[in-house]
Amino acid sequence: MKNTVKRIHFVLIIMMIMIGVLVGRMAQIQLIDTESFSKEKINLIESSVKQRTQEMILNDGRGQFTDKNGVPLTVQKERRLVVFPFVKEMTWPKEKVASIMQHTSATLDEQINTLDKPAVIGETLTSEQAKEINALKIPGVFALNVQKKVKNPVAEQLIGITGENKNVMTKRYNKKVNDGELSINTPIGVSGLQSSFDEFLIPEQESKLLYHVDRRGGPLFGIEVKYTGAGNPFYPVSVQTTIDSSIQQKMENILDEHALKEGGAVLLDIDTNEVVAMTSRPHINQQRSSGVGNRMLVPQVPGSVFKTVIAAAAIDSGIDTYKRTFNCDLDIYNKLEKQAKRKGMLNFQDSFAESCNYTFGTVAKEMVKENKTIIDEYANKLGLVDPVGWQGDVFHFDDFKQFDNEGKGIIWHQDKASTYSKEIAQTAIGQRDVRVTPLAVANMMATIARGGEKKQVRVVDRIQYKNGATLYTFQPQKLQGDHIAPYTAIRLRQLLKEVVDHPKGTGRRFQSLAVQVAGKSGTADIRAVEGKNTNIINKWFAGYFPANHPKYALVVVDLNTESSTTPTNAVFYDIVNTLYPK
């Protein structure tokens, strides 16, 4: 008997514990963690409301990007007809609405009868059409400004993408998520400017129309549609870039016409050092999030473009480059080049124009013998090592950077490499360990064209409130560190012009353009791709124009391509020709 009583007591205790756990769980769900349930930070109230609410989002509340003239780059507003499904059960003047829209009522009926949630119907409306429709005051039928993604957006890798990332959301906005100000599922910037400027762009509140429905989708509290939206006149903000969307679109088209698969182009305004256009390939695959990286910010093997650094060092070092000639039948290892590559005896200027490897390998070894760090010094003076994008303190953001994940240049992987003759020669022609970003190369050309003045590259001019007032302006800033002398810049400009003007110059193709171009070509052999020796190369052309009164600096690079199919020079030619047609 005693054992039976004990078993009953035991069972009752277990049941009480289970009931206590259940009550605790109910309290957690109903009272305690209603807006931040579980590690997923689920807003239970919001989820519950969504189950019995149909809504039409007019604006997601996220800040947007514009070009330098205020042209939308990511989203735009359109006047559209918004219709809620419950109108199917109503009698309303659909013939009148169809007439205003210049449709037939049958066409309108066909579109509405398939609705099971609020949707946009028909084409863009004029302001007069919208005014006439709204004057009818039909429940569930509205002519409103609706946010719409820009079709085929330009500068997609530069602007970047957004997406849901609960881990990053929790880490970056933990307090706002815990306070219920943001949902754990709020899209955030994943790459590009969307990521760099995310804390300015994150939405305060969506603007939407909503109504409550029963389990069959019918109106729960009548047919009144409610509007909810941010009442703040300052948000969301817009980020005004320095991009010229017209030039950007033309540059995008040129790359696509020439089927440049991997690489891209950077166009800078030399006076302001702002990005006028920047495009990267491959295109972004939104479904798989591939192609997201901006190749213009990733260090690449530059090939002979790097000879510009060696030339700058040679001009200043005292090495005699005026009277000497160099045996350009030889390669950097003092062996005979293939017959097609032999150039004979050339002076320093002709060596630069025809891109003689022997000359620059020889000169580099002589300079390093006198000063072991001379290549590093001039790479830094020309801005090829450290990031060149705008950075500085912005409000409470210390060392804010406009460019997301801009890479640093590399000259040597190991200090000892700079003491070996073979490695020095390879470095002098932009091979071996050398890696620089196309943005930094464009900035180098702009620096030379300005007479040696180094500036940070801006891609965003300002952040503006919704009412048009300015929240913050990114002022031009100098790039820190030593720079080349004006005399050195003058000599470099002469060498860069000769690359195009010389009868055998590697840029002679550009002689037929309407304006004179100065620049440097580069061909970098990419060995051991997937463990095999291949003929894969990086093909560059970097320069500025018009040569005598520089306005633009331009870099085009075709990465990991076969030498017989590279369109680099054709792309460079067409971009210049677009800006300065004959």
Residue 415: which CATH number? 3.40.710.10
Alpha-helical runs (H) found in 101-217: 105-112, 127-135, 156-159, 166-172, 174-178, 192-196, 198-201
Q: Is residue 361 part of a domain?
A: yes
The amino acid that residue 546 corresponds to is P
Q: Give, for 544, the enclosing helix (H) or strand (E).
A: strand 536-545
Task: List pLDDT tens digits, range 391-400.
Answer: 999 988 888 9
Q: Does the annotation count 317 as an active-site position?
A: no
Residues 404/191, Cβ–Cβ less than 8 Å: yes
> Is residue 531 very low, low, confident or very high in pLDDT (cuts 50, 70, 90)?
very low
Task: List pLDDT tens digits, range 193-223.
Answer: 999 999 999 887 777 776 666 555 555 545 5
Residue 131: which CATH number? 3.90.1310.10
Task: List, as one string, the DSSP characters of 15-42.
Answer: HHHHHHHHHHHHHIIIIISTTSBTTTTB
Q: The dihedral of CA 99, 104, 105, 109: what is its sign? A: negative
Q: Is residue 113 part of a domain?
A: yes
pLDDT at 45: 44
In a shared domain, residues 257 and 138: no
Tell whether the model's pLDDT for residue 292 goes beyond 70.
Answer: no
Q: Give, for 367, the enclosing helix (H) or strand (E).
A: helix 357-370
Residue-averaged pLDDT of the chain:
86
Long-range contacts of 364-372 (CB under 8 A, 24+ apart): 364/310, 364/313, 364/424, 364/425, 364/427, 364/428, 365/421, 365/424, 365/425, 365/428, 366/319, 367/310, 367/313, 367/314, 367/317, 367/319, 368/418, 368/419, 368/424, 370/317, 371/317, 372/418, 372/419
Domain range enclosing 131: 76-149
Q: Considering only 13-27, 146-160, 510-524, which range has the smallest mean pLDDT?
A: 13-27
Residues 196/402, Cβ–Cβ less than 8 Å: yes
The residue from 118, 149, 180 where one domain ends is 149
In a shared domain, residues 543 and 415: yes
pLDDT at 439: 98
**Which string of b and e fits 172-198 if b means at least 16 CB within 10 Å?**
bbeeebeeeebbbebbbbbbbbbbbbb
The amino acid that residue 411 corresponds to is I
Token pair for 560: 């990991």
Backbone phi, psi, residue 169, to 5°: -60, -45
The amino acid that residue 123 corresponds to is E
In a shared domain, residues 127 and 250: no
In a shared domain, residues 340 and 467: yes
Q: Higher-confidence residue: 141 or 461?
A: 461
What is d(CA 476, CA 115) in angstroms, rounded to the nearest whole number? 52
352 Rama sector, left if φ>0, alpha if ψ -120 to 50, beta otherwise: alpha
> To which residue do tokens 């090939």 refer?
303
Tell whether the model's pLDDT for residue 32 goes beyond 70.
Answer: no
In a shared domain, residues 260 and 128: no
Closest residue by Cα to residue 458 from 158, 190, 156: 158
> To which residue do tokens 């780059």 refer?
73
The residue from 129, 149, 169 where one domain ends is 149
DSSP 197: T
Q: Is residue 369 part of a domain?
A: yes
In a shared domain, residues 249 and 145: no
pLDDT at 147: 83
What is d(CA 34, CA 472) in angstroms, rounded to the nearest whole number? 37
pTM as predicted: 0.85
Q: The dihedral of CA 414, 418, 422, 426: what is its sign? A: positive
| Selected catalytic residue, list 191, 207, 304, 418 | 304
Number of domains forming the structure of the chain: 2
Please report the beta strands in 378-495, taking only residues with DSSP state E, as ranges in sequence order.
Answer: 391-394, 397-401, 460-464, 470-473
Task: List pLDDT tens digits, range 235-272.
Answer: 889 999 999 999 999 999 999 999 999 999 999 999 99
What is d(CA 275, CA 215) in angstroms, rounded to the nearest whole number? 54
DSSP 73: S
Residue 508 burial by Cβ neighbours in a 10 Å radius (0-12, 13-18, 19+): middle
Identify the bridge partners of residue 290 per DSSP, sorted by sequence position: 285
pLDDT at 413: 84
Q: Is residue 269 part of a domain?
A: yes
Q: Higher-confidence residue: 205 or 35?
A: 205
Closest residue by Cα to residue 302 from 431, 214, 113, 166: 431
What is d(CA 248, CA 262) in angstroms, rounded to the nearest whole number? 17
Token pair for 568: 């680099």
Helix/strand/coil (H/E/C) assignment for every residue in 127-144: HHHHHHHHHCCCCCEEEE
What is d(CA 258, CA 245) in angstroms, rounded to the nearest whole number? 20
Q: Is residue 465 part of a domain?
A: yes
Q: Is residue 190 part of a domain?
A: no
The amino acid that residue 148 corresponds to is K
Centre a 10 Å sphere on the Cβ of residue 356 and count the other Cβ atoms it contains.
Answer: 29
What is d(CA 462, CA 394) in angstroms, rounded to the nearest whole number? 12
Centre a 10 Å sphere on the Cβ of residue 307 and count the other Cβ atoms it contains.
Answer: 28
The residue from 149, 165, 182 where one domain ends is 149
In a shared domain, residues 448 and 575: yes
Task: List pLDDT tens digits, range 459-502.
Answer: 999 999 988 899 999 999 999 999 999 999 999 999 999 999 99
Token pair for 484: 């080349």
Q: Give, for 80, the enclosing helix (H) or strand (E).
A: strand 75-83
Q: Is residue 145 part of a domain?
A: yes
Residues 213/117, Cβ–Cβ less than 8 Å: no
Q: Is residue 222 part of a domain?
A: no
> Is residue 528 very low, low, confident or very high in pLDDT (cuts 50, 70, 90)?
very low
In a shared domain, residues 364 and 505: yes
In a shared domain, residues 134 and 255: no
pLDDT at 28: 57
